[in-house]
Structure 1
Amino acid sequence: MPFASLLGRLALWAALYVACAYLSFSLDDPVTQVSFVWFPAGVAVAAFFAMPRGAWAALVAALFAADLGLSALTGHPLVPSAWLAGLSLASTLGIAWLSQRYAQGRDDLHAVLGWVAVTFVVSALAAVAGSAGLALIKHEVLWEAVSDLAWIWWAATVTGVLFGVSVLMGFMGFRTVEAPPGPIGRTVGIAAWLLLAAMTWYVFGVHRPSTSEAPLLLGLACIPLALATVATLSGGNRMGSLAVLTMAAIVIYHSNAGRGPFFLRGFLPGEPLLLVQCYLVSVAMLQVFVRVLTRGIRRPRTADAGGRETLYRLDLASGTIVWDAPPDARPGPGTLDEVLRQVHPDDRQGLRERLRAADGTPGLDHPFPFRLATAPDQWTTVVDLNRGAMMGPDGAFIIGSWRLPTPHHGA
């Protein structure tokens, strides 16, 4: 990855991390400094998923510096802040690495289930270690309260990861390339998004609802979930993520003021916020499973079975490519660099990372459309079908194929 591009992406992730940390700091406990929802955890895991592994160390440094900088600006003590930031980033790094390892060779559903399981386990370990360490550092935290603190830490991290990754990966694309929605789908998606915003504002804007109002409000709270699903199915992953993000912003705004169907009279302190966490995670995860279960309905039209395929073998150490036939009836590029020079600049980085992924990066088994130059300023869409990395006597190599458009004869 070019140095300038790396710096730009690191800056963007750090800025998003700081913005989410600032929001979480406004929801933290004044004594323990542990937030009830730690949204930066989801940002960090999504960043690790999106960045190549060679940039992970720089990403950790950037996020750690951003976290400490914000803690200093908001008046949080340095030592506890450094402990919280370091352990939080270590746990998100572990979640990303273990999830990717588990996802190797598995379908989307198993990859998602593995990611959820890893998130629960790693977050629990980090919560126990972090709470005990915080009790040693801060004398205000009593050892008798460590179990309660660990529970809050675990719930905050799990909520942040499951919600944040679901939304961000929806914006970036979840292990696939989808075709853009048509005019009707886009219109339905926008309408569902607007209705969702209005309904969420109404349901969660009620202050301390009475016992008689609660059943109706809880029933109405299910309507935004259905509308978010409609937005995802009609408008695509980005529209679905926008709907979930809008919904979360409204829910957090009202919940922070003690409003909404979960703030019933008689609830113990902390219980309404726990219900809010479960609600937001349920909404986000529902959209993830909608994307997984409907994957393949909306595919790029270039990825149909009507095109011609040509196999290739790419040596990852030398970059040499051997073709079983010349692609597009022309002399095939002999190296990866020659291939990339013929690829559209907007698609070049994605194909480079895909053809250099020897570590089991998720998504290699899914079609990857890109544009290939056939003449000056003329492009044709080719679909790369990567079979994954293998080990041979001379090192790692990739076996894959390109699906080429079928030439039309006549007029």
Structure 2
Amino acid sequence: MSPAKFYLQLLLWCVLYFSLGYISLFLDDPLSRVSFVWFPAGLAVAAFLLTPRRFWLPLFLGLFIVRTLLDVTMRHSLETSLVHSVISLGNDFAIAWLVRRFRRPADLLHNMLVWLSATVVFSAIAAAAGAGWVLYRHNIVFIQTLWIWWSANVVGTILLTTIVMGLFWKSEVLALRRCIAGCGLWLLLCISAAYVFSQPFGDAHGEALLFSLACIPVMVMIAIPIVSGNRLGALAFLSFSVIVIYFSWHRLGPLFIPGLQSGEPLLLAQCYLSGTALLLNFVYVLKRNVPGMVSSYYLIPQTGRLTWDQTSVTSLTPHVLKINHVDELLERLSPEDQKRMRTRWETIVHGGTVKDTFPFLLRLSPTTKVQLLETRLIGLAQPEGVVIIGSWSPEIHNRAIARAAREA
């Protein structure tokens, strides 16, 4: 990523951060003045994950300035604004750093669990610090403020990170009918969600029916990324979240139960949306771990001929089918990756075993590289000698994230 491109993206991140923060600060607890949901948390985490590490310092400073101006705009003192900015951005940075530090190539489930664990733990630390500061400055209930701050960060991180990363996820090529089907499901999602969550509270029978109907938008939401890819799924989830939060804030829909205090229906809406977001992430994991996501090759070391398995077609298949000789493959790798790839092949040819995985960059074009992981490498004895069978899987499906990992 060039500096000019980064600073253009930084401007976009700052504008989005301020806009989401402005909305979040209107959804606050009137007593503690802490927002019930902090949307910028997820945006900041996604921004750090999508940005090369060499740009993390200016990204942090840019978001820090915006966060401080945001609090000042909402009539907080400069001292409180600076403290809130340190706590908030420190929390977001820590989550992104832990995810990048402990991520495992080709293990999306592990990476997602690291992200969730970091979100829960660091948000608790940030909530304790933030609630402590508010308690020092104002006469508030510490436990209640702690809970609101923690839930606001966790929900904001889960919702916005899911949406932003889904938008940046490289989509597969879709047929027209799948796009039309996805748009139809999106329309059905908006209509069903608007109907269910715009209904006022009625009798117990009607409320039970509304609770049942609330499952329909979730099922439609889960179907959209399966049918039409993650980007349309992310846009649909954004629409879904806006509808649910808007009506819940106005005390409508099945999540408004008589007796709840101000803001508590919104907390129920957060749980509802967070559960849907987690289901979406598990759908992404399952989509990535189906057998068809693996590309396998058959190498004859004596001749250097490469043959690719065409029974499991992936987004990588059209590119690798153009590579028919080992020299054509090696010239697409860096010198270090070439050396290690040859060493692995030589080990197999001489009767050894290779059990470790091998991450590497494959150049698809002069300007595009993709991060891959060789997950299996075995030798098969043949009359003409040992032949090699290997399997590759996409380590990172998104080109933007792959480039960020390469430049870090």
Contact persistence 2:155–2:270 (CA under 8 A): yes
Aligned counterpart in structure 2 of residue 151 of structure 1, from 139, 147, 150? 147
Contact persistence 2:172–2:315 (CA under 8 A): yes
For 1:90, the equivalent position in structure 2 comes to 90
Identity %: 35
Going from structure 1 to structure 2, the CA distance change for 1:304 and 1:8 (only over 3 Å counts) comes to closer
Please report the TM-score for the alignment, with normalisation by the length of structure 2: 0.75
For 1:101, the equivalent position in structure 2 comes to 101
Contact persistence 1:303–1:369 (CA under 8 A): no
Deviation digits for residues 356-386 of structure 1 (CA, Å, limit 9, x no counterpart):
xxxxxxx97347889xxxxxxxxxxxxxx99
- 1:132-281 aligned at under 5 Å gives the runs 132-136=132-136, 138=137, 140-142=138-140, 145-173=141-169, 177-281=170-274
Letter in 1 for 2:235: L
Within 2, Cα distance between the matches of 1:263 and 1:214?
A: 10
Letter in 2 for 1:169: M
- 1:71-82 aligned at under 5 Å gives the runs 71-82=71-82
Within 2, Cα distance between the matches of 1:264 and 1:148?
A: 20
Deviation digits for residues 256-310 of structure 1 (CA, Å, limit 9, x no counterpart):
2111111122335443222111011111121111011012557315368744452
Within 1, Cα distance between the matches of 2:103 and 2:40?
A: 23
Going from structure 1 to structure 2, the CA distance change for 1:202 and 1:19 (only over 3 Å counts) comes to same
Contact persistence 2:29–2:263 (CA under 8 A): no
Report SS of the residue matched to 1:284: helix
Contact persistence 1:303–1:367 (CA under 8 A): no
Within 1, Cα distance between the matches of 2:109 and 2:120?
A: 17
Within 2, Cα distance between the matches of 1:219 and 1:82?
A: 45
Larger deviation, residues 271-280 vs 162-171: 271-280
Letter in 1 for 2:237: V
Within 1, Cα distance between the matches of 2:245 and 2:60?
A: 28
Deviation digits for residues 153-212 of structure 1 (CA, Å, limit 9, x no counterpart):
100000000111011110001xxx442221121111000000000001000001233322
**How far did 1:68 drift?**
1.6
Please report the TM-score for the alignment, with normalisation by the length of structure 1: 0.75
Going from structure 1 to structure 2, the CA distance change for 1:42 and 1:366 (only over 3 Å counts) comes to closer
Within 2, Cα distance between the matches of 1:265 and 1:302?
A: 56
For 1:300, the equivalent position in structure 2 comes to 315
Aligned-residue CA RMSD (Å): 3.1
Within 2, Cα distance between the matches of 1:315 and 1:90?
A: 38
For 1:283, the equivalent position in structure 2 comes to 276
Aligned length: 338
Deviation digits for residues 77-100 of structure 1 (CA, Å, limit 9, x no counterpart):
222122112101001110111122
Contact persistence 1:200–1:224 (CA under 8 A): yes
Contact persistence 1:206–1:261 (CA under 8 A): yes
For 2:311, the equivalent position in structure 1 comes to none
Report SS of the residue matched to 2:205: coil
Contact persistence 1:232–1:239 (CA under 8 A): yes
Going from structure 1 to structure 2, the CA distance change for 1:213 and 1:369 (only over 3 Å counts) comes to closer
For 2:366, the equivalent position in structure 1 comes to 343
Report SS of the residue matched to 2:274: helix
Within 2, Cα distance between the matches of 1:294 and 1:342?
A: 26
Going from structure 1 to structure 2, the CA distance change for 1:180 and 1:364 (only over 3 Å counts) comes to closer
Letter in 2 for 1:150: L
Within 2, Cα distance between the matches of 1:274 and 1:141?
A: 23
- Asked whether 1:45 is paired with 2:45, we answer yes
Deviation digits for residues 318-360 of structure 1 (CA, Å, limit 9, x no counterpart):
xx977989xxxxxxxxxxxxx999614xx4xx66xx69xxxxx
Within 2, Cα distance between the matches of 1:104 and 1:277?
A: 29
Within 2, Cα distance between the matches of 1:8 and 1:159?
A: 28
- 1:304-343 aligned at under 5 Å gives the runs 306=321, 307-308=323-324, 310-311=329-330, 314=334, 343=366
Within 1, Cα distance between the matches of 2:61 and 2:33?
A: 22
Within 1, Cα distance between the matches of 2:179 and 2:172?
A: 12
Within 2, Cα distance between the matches of 1:366 and 1:3?
A: 23
**How far did 1:71 drift?**
2.2
Report SS of the residue matched to 2:92: helix
Report SS of the residue matched to 1:122: helix
For 2:10, the equivalent position in structure 1 comes to 10
Going from structure 1 to structure 2, the CA distance change for 1:100 and 1:259 (only over 3 Å counts) comes to same
